[in-house]
Every structure is written in C-alpha cells, then in structure tokens.
Amino acid sequence: MQNVFPQWEIVRWLTATVPWPYPDDGAATFLRNLVIPSHDAKTAWHWSIRPKERANLLIGSISLLEGPEQNRGFWLDPAWQGQGLMTEASNAVTDYWFGTLGKSVLRVPKAAANPASRRISEKQGMRVVSRFVSRLVSGEQEMELWEISRDEWLRHQHSRSTA
C-alpha cells in the first residue's frame, strides 16, 4: 500500500484527512489506527485488490463503513484502471453490504468532477440525493451524495441478470 497508494491521480479525489505529502509511515499508520480497529469492532470491512495471476501484488483497496453517509470507499493504481476492476469489486462488496450485512441503504459521497467514480455508481443504479462542498486533498470540491436502497439494489441486480 505504501508503494502504490501515494499517487496524485488517486489522492486528489480523497478526503483532505488523507495526509499529503504522504509520510513514509502513512500506510502503516492508516492500517494500525483505522483499518485494524474498525475491522475488529466490525464497524468497517476492508479488502485489498490483487490480480488473480499475481496474488501478492496489492493494486487497490475497497472498504465498507458503518455510518450515515460514507459507506463505501475505493481506489485503484492508475496502471490498472479502465479494465472494469473496480466495477467488479464494487458489485461484490455492494452485494455483501445488502446481502451478508443486511443493511437497508448505501450512501457514498463523491466529487462531481470525478467521472470514473460517478460512472461506477451510475452503472449500479444509484442516484444523487444531495449536493454539497467538501475539502478533498485537491482542495474544495463540489460533491454529490449517491444513494441506493436494498430494494433498488435487488431490483437492479435482477434486471441485470435477466437482461
């Protein structure tokens, strides 16, 4: 994670709480202070993303998080973007959110200017429910809050499987 994550194309779209410039112990601190405690408390679920043929190579990450408005976050090494990998990962963890965890709604904030992230939500049948401004690593950005309910997700999955 320390080798791959600190790239401007990734961090520019993430919340300003991500330290930038990224410190040498940034990934270890993040894992120790946030990922492991939230995993143990069962308030968040984290997956690393690895190519099937190179399972020891971390190329991205996707997380689910308890809370009212920030339930999913993801990033992928730019070298691996544009192949549908995060669409596949997002569909898998969204199934987990509604199916395994039994949640009733999934909400994710994202910058209005972030077309790849917006497209993933659009393809999942999500909709924008509010707009606001937030501070990202790249500065103040117009944001959109995307949402989908459990029933909408199940209907969307059904229509995809029968299309």
Q: What is the contact surface with ligand COA in residues (CB under 6 A)?
A: 10, 13, 74-76, 81-87, 110, 114-117, 119-120, 123
The secondary structure of 73-137 as a DSSP string is EEEE-GGGTTSSHHHHHHHHHHHIIIIIS--SEEEEEEETT-HHHHHHHHHTT-EEEEEEEEEET
Q: Based on CB atoms, which residue is closest to ligand COA, 38 or 87?
A: 87
Q: How far is the CB of 7 from ligand COA (least distance, A)?
A: 9
Q: What's the CA gap between 46 and 6, in Å, rounded?
A: 18
Q: How far is the CB of 17 from ligand COA (least distance, A)?
A: 13
Amino acid at 87: T
Q: Based on CB atoms, which residue is closest to ligand COA, 86 or 98?
A: 86
Q: How far is the CB of 24 from ligand COA (least distance, A)?
A: 21
